[in-house]
Structure formats: structure tokens, C-alpha cells
Amino acid sequence: MGVIHQAAGLNEAGQGSEFSGEDPSSRGDIGIAPAGAGDLDALVRLEERAFAGDRLSRRSLRRFAAKRNGLLLVARCGGQVAGYVLVLMRKGSQRARLYSIAIDGARRGRGIGQALLGAGELSARRAGAGSIYLEVRADNESAIALYRKTGYRQFATIDGYYHDGAMALRLEKALADGAADRKGRDLT
């Protein structure tokens, strides 16, 4: 796959945006940026294809896209939405929640999920979060492998969490330093 670029405000080093100037998507590269109203149709389609139930509604997606606080991010490739990540922050809390992440089926396995996850974590850290947590279906092997690889560790399970009664694993990761990368190896 091509290079993955992050939009202004997402570059860890605080350098100028690689996203400005030539549109990287014109070269088949991936660009990551906050979602806009124009992404809604693609996001709804992606949500329908990626999840059998417990989906984000168009209304919710519109609300998160309108916030423009950088916590609903989309990856674009060739002008098409290739995936999204949604991170929620509660006022007064330093704990972010990775609410959802999905990559278009045809574009999985190329590093886009990991890049979007990293961009979501960076946005959360910039918004003041010291840690991030999430729920994942206990049978979602690809997502669990992604989280495990990137330093998340399991701290709880919830029976019957999903629409079909499936169990959720609750995972978390510290964002402030590298400690979570070391702890992540303990995930069982």
C-alpha cells in the first residue's frame, strides 16, 4: 500500500501537515483527517457492512462529525472513505473511550486500522486523556490482535454486552508514556 499521511494537528512531532499541498490520495496514499458532513453517506455504508448490529446511527455519526474536535477521524484513499475511528471524551475525565473503529472490507490488512487507531489515540492525548479504554467482542480475533499489538491489556469482561448476547472484553492502554506498551504483553 501507499504512504499513510495524517492531517494537520495529528502529527506527533507538531510539524507541518503532510496533508496540505498535493492531495496524497491522488497517489493512492491514505490520508487521515477529521470527518466532515460530506463523509456521512460513506460512513453509514461502512457501518452497515462492518457490523451486524449495535451500529452507530446516521444521526449519531452526523453529531460526531459536526463536533469538529478531531475525535471522529476518517482515512481516505483515492477520494474514498477507507475507514474511521471514533474516540469519545467525557468532560472532566482523563479517560478516553475508543467507541468504534472500522475499515472497509476491501482495504483491510494494509495497516489502515493501526494508523487510524494511532491517530485516534493521539487526538485523545492532545485533548487531555491519560488513558483510553474500549470494548471488543470476545470472538473478534482481528480487532483483539490489533489492540494487543498496539499495547492494550484486558481489565474486565462483560457478559451479554452485544445485541446477540456475545461477551465483551474491556481493554485499556495508558497514553501518557510507554508503560502500556510493556503492560500490553500481559494480555491473555
Ligand X SMILES: CC(C)(COP(=O)(O)OP(=O)(O)OC[C@H]1O[C@@H](n2cnc3c(N)ncnc32)[C@H](O)[C@@H]1OP(=O)(O)O)[C@@H](O)C(=O)NCCC(=O)NCCS
Applying CB under 6 A, the residues found at the interface with ligand X are 50, 101-103, 108-114, 136, 140-143, 145-146, 149
Beta strands in the chain (DSSP E): 4-6, 30-34, 72-77, 80-89, 95-103, 131-137, 153-158, 168-174
The answer to whether the Cα torsion of 69, 121, 51, 165 is positive or negative is: negative
| Chain residue whose CB lies nearest ligand X | 113
Nearer to ligand X, 132 or 136 (CB): 136
Nearer to ligand X, 4 or 89 (CB): 4
What's the closest the beta carbon of residue 29 comes to ligand X, in angstroms? 15
What's the closest the beta carbon of residue 75 comes to ligand X, in angstroms? 9
Q: Residue with C-alpha cell 496533508?
A: 19
Grid cell, residue 5, equals 499521511
What's the closest the beta carbon of residue 1 comes to ligand X, in angstroms? 9
* Bridge-based pairing state of the strands 95-103 and 131-137: parallel
Grid cell, residue 84, equals 474511521
131, 91 in Cβ contact below 8 A?
A: no
Nearer to ligand X, 16 or 78 (CB): 78
What's the closest the beta carbon of residue 69 comes to ligand X, in angstroms? 21
Nearer to ligand X, 51 or 183 (CB): 51
